[in-house]
Amino acid sequence: MALRGAYERYLNRFGWWCVAPSVLFFSIFYAYPILSSLYYVTRRWKGATNTFIGLGNFIRMARDNVFLEAVGHNFIFMIIQVPIMVFLALLLAVLLNQGIKSFRGGLRLAIFLPSVTSLVVVSVLFRVLLQTNGFLNNVMLGGHFIASPIGWLSDAFWAKVTIILALTWRWTGYNMVFFLVGLQSLDPQIFEAAEVDGASKVRQFFTITVPLLVPIILFSAVTSTSGTMQLIEEPNILTFQGGPSNATMTAALYIYRQAFFINFDFGYATSMSYVVVIISGILAAIQLRLLGGERATR
Amino acid sequence: MTVARRWTPGRILMWLVLLGSAVASVFPFYWMLNGTTLNPNDVLRGILAPGGDFLSNWKLATTTYNLPLFFTNSLVIALGTVVFGVVINSMAAFGFEKYRSRARDRVFGILLLTLILPQIAVVIPMFKMFSFFKLLNTRLAIALPSVMSVFIIFFLRQNFKLFPTEIMEAARVDGASELAIFVRIVAPSMRASFASAAIYMFIAQWNAYLWPLITILNDAIKTLPIAMASVMQAYTIQYGALMVIVCVSTLPVLILFLTMQKQFVAGLLGSVK
């Protein structure tokens, strides 16, 4: 028995050795930064020196309209873009899976293709395509769809539309793949039975497909939500530094600019990032509860 | 069940949606590829026929815009991250899955919390830390923070679950050490999962933006995304050369996807398994 105990201890020790390097990296690049920022949030940087200001950073934040609007923009992008994209991805998955018999592989490949581009490349491409004298305006003017060029990048409203367009282009095919996998796991007999009962395709989509795919829809919504809370490439490059005049400023970009561009006040920037962490945490908790609730009822 | 092949309005609408989406998805790729052959004005206007400026754009990109240097930087940093990352993440996944203990399960639970942590929350203290050790503006500084990836540990752990523990027991009876079991028996049979993990890590590092943007302070160690971002900030932009850089930075990922579609998608789906 003693020998068995020694062997167990040997296995346990080996287990620790396996995870040790990763835990070390975790401590340096996650645990330490998070813990040390607890000190940062109470201080204010001015040049190289910093002073204790207690909760001053949070009071300043509550009055900082650019920050509050930036968080608002994150929510706008989330509330408008995520549902559009999820619906489109689901629709395309269903059409590819049940609607057609030919060209299925080619179409799937084509629609997934944007997922291989980096967010910087997406931002660069759309920035050039959507110039006021650029391709899209030229095409739309040429076809007489619009009377005058649209300020895709220079108008506060259209700049937001531009970000939503770019996000939808980049992520719809990516999410579609999840739905395709989900659809393949469904029993085709359900649809045959619905067909016999005379349910239309549209009705089948809303009363059978969507309810059965709820877990995957939620998964895709959770990951997309956490993605939109972190938006930074698109507002920084596509609409150039959150422009026009902060109309597309996001929380992450504003924090980055406060820390490394404008004031170099690491205390204030860290405090704002704490608020973003808390918002992300709350959103994740809500969505995980929805996911968990769904599992429990199945 | 026979599918009606008549062109009903519903079927026409369906094909319009599918073809429209496919064209919208592929068009920017054609446009950027074609843009490498045009002069800056024609790129902007969106001329769709090929032009004759490819060589001058290529020359501008490779000399004035330092494309070979940035490409090498990106490649070295991404490959370094992948090699070290696959080793330490797979070891960790193996340890967490095949040597379960309550303490290690708790550690894993803490690691999982970082999956919802926005990157912006750690980069500021990390910047301070690297500047304290005088490591800012080095390739090492760009790579180190992304070597350990909780997502990859999670993904590989899910895959290790499928490896039968009985085989490990049998190897132990034969006198194999635990390390030999991992290196000689488990790892070789999980090659496909390792490939998925490697592809995922490569792409994540190849495309990384926020941390490189913060830690890179001069041209010598710039990666492709940072180089593109700085081209976009110039007063006059050489669009043709820009399209060359955009194409070159998309190509490796595109090739990985087209040649290893199965592993590529498996890595992507890792989280829903």
A37 vs B121: CB contact, 8 Å cut-off? yes
Domain membership flag for residue A152 = yes
State the sign of the Cα–Cα–Cα–Cα dihedral A77, A83, A87, A93.
positive
Beta strands (DSSP E) in A120-265 are: none
* Count of CB atoms situated within 10 Å of the CB of B63: 11
Q: Say whether both B70 and B141 belong to one domain.
A: yes
Domain membership flag for residue A101 = yes
The rounded distance, in Å, linking the Cα atoms of A27 and B110 is: 11
Q: Say whether both A72 and A135 belong to one domain.
A: yes
B91 vs A19: CB contact, 8 Å cut-off? yes
Q: In CATH, what number is assigned to the domain containing residue A228?
A: 1.10.3720.10
Domain membership flag for residue A48 = no
Query: A220 falls in which pLDDT band (50, 70, 90)?
Result: confident
Q: Say whether both B80 and B186 belong to one domain.
A: yes
Domain membership flag for residue A173 = yes
Interface test with B, best of A10, A13, A22 (most B CBs within 10 A): A22
B101 vs A229: CB contact, 8 Å cut-off? no
Mean predicted lDDT score pLDDT of chain A: 89
Q: Say whether both B224 and B195 belong to one domain.
A: yes
- The CA–CA distances, whole Å, from B164 to B160, B207, B237 equal 9, 36, 57
Domain membership flag for residue B250 = no
Per-residue model confidence (pLDDT) at position A262: 85
A22 vs B88: CB contact, 8 Å cut-off? yes
List chain A residues with CB under 8 Å of B94: 18
| DSSP-assigned beta bridge partners for residue A46 | A49
Q: Say whether both B212 and B84 belong to one domain.
A: yes
The rounded distance, in Å, linking the Cα atoms of B57 and A51 is: 52
Phi-psi region of A198 (alpha: psi -120 to 50; beta: other; left: phi over 0): left
Interface test with B, best of A13, A24, A30, A204 (most B CBs within 10 A): A30
Q: Say whether both A206 and A282 belong to one domain.
A: yes
Q: Say whether both A166 and A111 belong to one domain.
A: yes
* Per-residue pLDDT tens over the stretch B190-208: 998 999 999 999 999 999 9
Domain membership flag for residue A44 = no
ipTM value, please give it: 0.90
Model confidence at A298: pLDDT above 50: no
Q: Say whether both B21 and B115 belong to one domain.
A: no
At residue B258's C-alpha, the angle toward residues A179 and B161, to 5°, is 55
Domain membership flag for residue B114 = yes
Full domain range(s) for residue B27: 9-54
Model confidence at A293: pLDDT above 60: no
How far away is chain B from the Cα of A156, in angstroms, using its nearest Cα? Answer: 20
Burial class (CB in 10 A: 0-12, 13-18, 19+), A57: buried
Model confidence at B74: pLDDT above 60: yes
Nearest to B1 among A169, A192, A256 (CB): A192
* Per-residue pLDDT tens over the stretch A31-79: 999 999 999 999 988 877 888 988 999 999 999 999 999 999 999 999 9
Q: Say whether both A169 and A288 belong to one domain.
A: yes
Model confidence at B170: pLDDT above 70: yes
Into how many domains does chain A fold? 2
List chain A residues with CB under 8 Å of B272: 178, 181, 216, 219
Q: Which helix (H) or strand (E) holds A111?
A: helix A104-112
How far away is chain B from the Cα of A157, in angstroms, using its nearest Cα? Answer: 22
Per-residue model confidence (pLDDT) at position A60: 94
Domain membership flag for residue A82 = yes
Q: Say whether both A17 and A102 belong to one domain.
A: no
User: At A238, is the secondary structure helix, strand, or coil?
Assistant: helix
Into how many domains does chain B fold? 2
Maximum CA extent, chain A:
87
**Among all residues of chain B, which has the CA nearest to that of A135?**
B46
Q: Say whether both B73 and B190 belong to one domain.
A: yes
Distance, first Cα to last Cα, chain B: 32
Per-residue model confidence (pLDDT) at position B4: 53
How far away is chain A from the Cα of B206, in angstroms, using its nearest Cα? Answer: 8
Q: Say whether both B38 and B72 belong to one domain.
A: no
A276 vs B118: CB contact, 8 Å cut-off? yes
